[in-house]
Amino acid sequence: MQPHTLTTDRLAQLDFVAHNTAVQQVWQALNEGRPIRTPIVVGTNSRYFLFNGQANPSGVRFQEYSENPRVMFDSQLQFQRWSRHNILQDAQLGLPQRWFLTPDFQNYYEAGWFGCPIIYLEGQVPDTTPAFTDRPERIMDRGLPDPFGGLLARGWDYFEQFKEMAAHKTYCDIPIEVTTPGFGLGTDGVMTVACNLFGAEFVCTAMAAEPQRLQRLFDFITEATIQRMTAWRKRTGMSLTVKDFGFADDSIALISTDMYRQHVLPHHRRLCDALCPAGQRSIHLCGDATRHFLTIRDELNVWAFDTGFPVNFGQLRRQLGPKVRIYGGPHVELLRTGKPALIRSEVQRIMQSGILEGGLFILREGNNLAPYTPLENIEAMYHAGKEFGNFKPA
Tens-place pLDDT, residues 156-182: 999 999 999 999 999 999 999 999 999
Tell me the average pLDDT across 81-104.
98
Tell me the average pLDDT across 259-284.
97
Helix locations, 293-362, DSSP H = 293-300, 313-320, 332-337, 340-351
Quick one: pLDDT band at residue 262, thresholds 50, 70, 90?
Answer: very high
**Dist CA 88 CA 122 (whole Å):** 29
User: 77 near 174, Cβ under 8 Å?
Assistant: no
Q: Return the pLDDT at 2.
A: 47
Q: Return the pLDDT at 393.
A: 56
Q: If residue 283 lies in a helix (H) or strand (E), which one and from where to where?
A: strand 280-285
What residue spans define the domains of the chain?
325-370
**Which is higher by pLDDT, 1 or 240?**
240
**198-218, pLDDT tens digit by residue?**
999 999 999 999 999 999 999
| Parallel, antiparallel or unpaired: strands 325-328 and 302-307 | parallel
Q: How far is CA 104 from CA 290, 326, 390, in A?
A: 29, 26, 36
Report field, pTM of the whole predicted structure over 0.85: yes
What is the rounded (10 degree) CA torsion for 10, 14, 20, 21?
Answer: -170
**Dist CA 290 CA 257 (whole Å):** 10
> CB-side exposure of 384: number of CA atoms within 13 Å?
25
> What DSSP line would sit under 203-220, residue for residue?
HHHHHHH-HHHHHHHHHH
Contacts with 41 (C-beta within 8 Å, 6 or more apart), sequence order: 89, 90, 91, 327, 362, 363, 364
* Percent of the chain topping pLDDT 70: 97
Residue 1 confidence (pLDDT) above 90: no
Report which of 232, 239, 99 is spatially closest to residue 162, judged by C-alpha positions: 99
Quick one: pLDDT band at residue 8, thresholds 50, 70, 90?
Answer: confident
User: 179 near 101, Cβ under 8 Å?
Assistant: yes
Residue 5 confidence (pLDDT) above 50: no
The mean predicted confidence, pLDDT, of the chain is 96
Decide: helix, strand or coil at residue 328. strand
**Dist CA 222 CA 275 (whole Å):** 12
Q: Return the pLDDT at 4.
A: 46
**16-59, pLDDT tens digit by residue?**
999 999 999 999 999 999 999 999 999 999 999 999 999 999 99
Amino acid letter for position 299: E
Quick one: pLDDT band at residue 391, thresholds 50, 70, 90?
Answer: confident
Tell me the average pLDDT across 247-268.
98
**Dist CA 198 CA 194 (whole Å):** 6
Residue 6 confidence (pLDDT) above 60: no
